[in-house]
Amino acid sequence: MAKIKGFFFDQDGVIIDTERDGHRVAFNRTFKEFGFNVEWDVETYHGLLQIAGGKERMKRYLDEKGFGVKVTPEQEEDLIKRLHKRKTEIFIELIESGSLPLRPGIRRIMHEIMNLGLVLGICTTSNAQVAHAITEKLLAEISFDLVLAGDEVSRKKPDPEIYLLALEKTGLKAKEAICIEDSHNGVTAARGAGLRVVATTNVYTEQEDLSRADIVVTCLGDPDGERGTLKKGSADLRYDGVLTASALTSYFST
């Protein structure tokens, strides 16, 4: 097998458990500010997560259920853009306030990856403003070699475009990189690019089909904090509730 030379991380649900208490809350506050009688509960937002991209989710909801007021086709594109801009501002405020902590093991494993001298990248369908708010605020001490956001590709996950772009920009071969994802769409995208895939589940994705991932855990885990549970992985994997970068590179390189 090829030697592992890099890691690519998804953002939402992997680095931060953002969907339920971050993006969903920001969308609802935005709808309220704009005077729309719309509120996405946990179950509704779960369904919308099957659509990649915030603007795409709002457009689908507007087209199928409406916002409680008449929106003409001519008004739709501009409205969606303005809604998404304000939603992003609110979401970033939530990040900078510390309301959305990192998931267990994220900071630890990123430091391990840096110490091993491996490529470290972010590949997210969120926009660049959100991606950089996380990398430059919450993870300011981490040196990222690559930060790719949804704005930089024409096709979002489950299409593999963003991971193919990451391979092109880093010069890595598919079998030399490990992807950390959390959802069916993300796993499908990473697998479509030929990457090794580790899935970390959360409340929204624990029931999704993640069978195409090589390894599935509930979280990456911390020695002095929350430890994860292994849901898929062979006996060759060194895992005691804490998944390390060295364990993963060894697992996929032999």
Query: What is the distance between the alpha carbons of residues 108 and 243, in angstroms, rounded to a whole number?
Result: 10
User: Active-site residue 12, yes or no?
Assistant: yes
What sign results for the dihedral spanned by CA atoms 181, 186, 190, 191? positive
Single pTM value for the model? 0.84
pLDDT band, very low/low/confident/very high, at 224 (cuts 50, 70, 90): very high
Query: What is the distance between the alpha carbons of residues 23 and 18, in angstroms, rounded to a whole number?
Result: 6
Query: Where is 217: in which H helix or E strand?
Result: strand 215-217
Report which of 111, 86, 109 is spatially closest to residue 35, judged by C-alpha positions. Answer: 86
State what percent of residues in the chain have pLDDT above 70.
Answer: 99
Q: Is the peptide bond before 158 cis (omega within 30 degrees of 0)?
A: yes
Selecting among 10, 17, 182, 214, the annotated active-site residue is 10
Query: What is the distance between the alpha carbons of residues 230 and 216, in angstroms, rounded to a whole number?
Result: 6
- What pLDDT does residue 129 have? 85
Is the Cβ–Cβ distance between 219 and 105 less than 8 Å?
Answer: yes
The reply to whether 6-17+102-253 and 19-96 are identical in fold is no
User: At the top level of CATH, which class does the domain 19-96 belong to?
Assistant: mainly alpha
- What pLDDT does residue 194 have? 98
Both tokens assigned to 167? 């391979």
CATH topology of domain 6-17+102-253: Rossmann fold (3.40.50)
Q: Where are the domains of the chain?
A: 6-17+102-253, 19-96
pLDDT digits (tens, 9 = 90+) for 100-117: 889 999 999 999 999 999
pLDDT at residue 254 is higher than 70: no
Selecting among 12, 182, 214, 222, the annotated active-site residue is 12
Long-range CB pairs of 162-170, under 8 A, 24+ apart, other chains included:
162/123, 162/124, 162/125, 162/189, 163/8, 163/123, 163/189, 163/190, 163/192, 163/193, 163/195, 164/193, 166/8, 166/121, 166/123, 166/193, 167/193, 170/6, 170/119, 170/121, 170/145, 170/146
Query: What is the distance between the alpha carbons of residues 123 and 150, in angstroms, rounded to a whole number?
Result: 8
Both tokens assigned to 123? 């590949």
Query: Where is 9: in which H helix or E strand?
Result: strand 6-9
pLDDT at residue 1 is higher than 70: no
pLDDT digits (tens, 9 = 90+) for 144-201: 999 999 889 999 899 999 999 999 999 999 999 999 999 999 999 999 999 999 999 9
